[in-house]
Amino acid sequence: MNGILLPGGEERPLSFYLAMEEHVAAAYGSGFFVWRVAPTVIIGRNQDIYSEVNLAYCREHGIDVVRRKSGGGCVFADKGNIMISYITPRRRVENVFSEYLDRLSSFLRTLGFDAVTSSNNDVCVGGFKVSGNAFFVHPDADIVHGTLLHSLDFGMMERAITPSVEKLGKHGVQSVRQRVVNLVSLGLDMGPEELEEALMAAFCDSRAMLSPQDMKAVEEIERTYTDPAFLFGKAQENTYI
């Protein structure tokens, strides 16, 4: 698989990387890249932003809020959460998910962790979630976007995300924090940049840099994510913007 690289070293918002997934899917049909962002809450396509996100806290602490086009639950990302984009030609969803989860679990086992996949498309170590994943069926390719918890700020996560008691009850836990753990807390002796490079080496047999034309195309797609109508839905309120 081709590892996709970006020109320059500037920090980009999460909306850029979601748009980049779509562009790579349409222009190249497959690819793999990893990325990290400043504190951001990502909500699923069908989620109610007002019940899932503490918008006042996010506004006060400069936390971005982005809606993705795939389903699934609410995710918090910061520089300690490695985001993974895995793009393949169109196949059966379960086959792509299974392939990706197997490869990620195998990668973690090479680092010494007893990693297993769960029925919720998570990867767990010692009963705790270290990776959550969602699927987006793009017209041109299949996209899996996943997380890998290196050193996430769980305190900020708990304040930014506000899942319902009913949703937590389905998982048999009292809070979001009870279900997840950082790899550094499990003994990982590797910085986030080093872990990113190890992931690229494990998943990719070649690498390619996006061109200036590619970057312009990504920025065009990004506008669909930053549109307030897409983020807030029909019942927009002025609590965040």
**HEC profile of 160-175:** HECCCHHHHHHCCCCC
Max intra-chain CA distance, the chain = 48
How far is Cα 176 from Cα 153, in angstroms, rounded to an integer?
A: 13
Q: List pLDDT tens digits, range 42-58.
A: 999 889 999 999 999 99
- Across the chain, which has 241 residues, the per-10-residue mean pLDDT values are 93 96 96 98 92 96 94 90 96 88 97 93 94 89 94 96 54 54 97 98 97 98 96 55 33
Closest CA to 157 of 142, 174, 136, 177: 177
**Which tokens go with 206?**
């070649």
49-84 CB burial, b ≥16 within 10 A, e <16: beebbbbeebeeeebbbbbbbbebbbbbbbebbbbb
Closest CA to 33 of 80, 87, 98: 87
| Percent above pLDDT 90 for the chain | 75
Q: List pLDDT tens digits, range 89-121.
A: 988 888 899 999 999 999 999 999 999 998 888
How far is Cα 76 from Cα 14, in angstroms, rounded to an integer?
A: 11
pLDDT for 178: 57
Closest CA to 199 of 80, 102, 100, 104: 104
How distant, in Å, are the alpha carbons of 32, 49, 152, 197, 208 from that of 177? 29, 20, 11, 27, 37
pLDDT for 163: 65
How far is Cα 140 from Cα 142, in angstroms, rounded to an integer?
A: 7
pLDDT for 157: 95
In this structure, what are the phi and psi dihedrals at residue 207, rounded to the nearest 5 degrees? -140, 150
pLDDT for 153: 97
Helix (H, G, I), strand (E, B) or coil at 129: strand
Q: Which DSSP category does 227 fall into?
A: -
- CA 138-240-14 angle, to 5 degrees, is 35
In this structure, what are the phi and psi dihedrals at residue 82, rounded to the nearest 5 degrees? -80, 125
Q: What residue type is assigned to position 48 of the chain? A: D
pLDDT for 177: 57
In this structure, what are the phi and psi dihedrals at residue 232, rounded to the nearest 5 degrees? -95, -15
pTM, entire model: 0.89
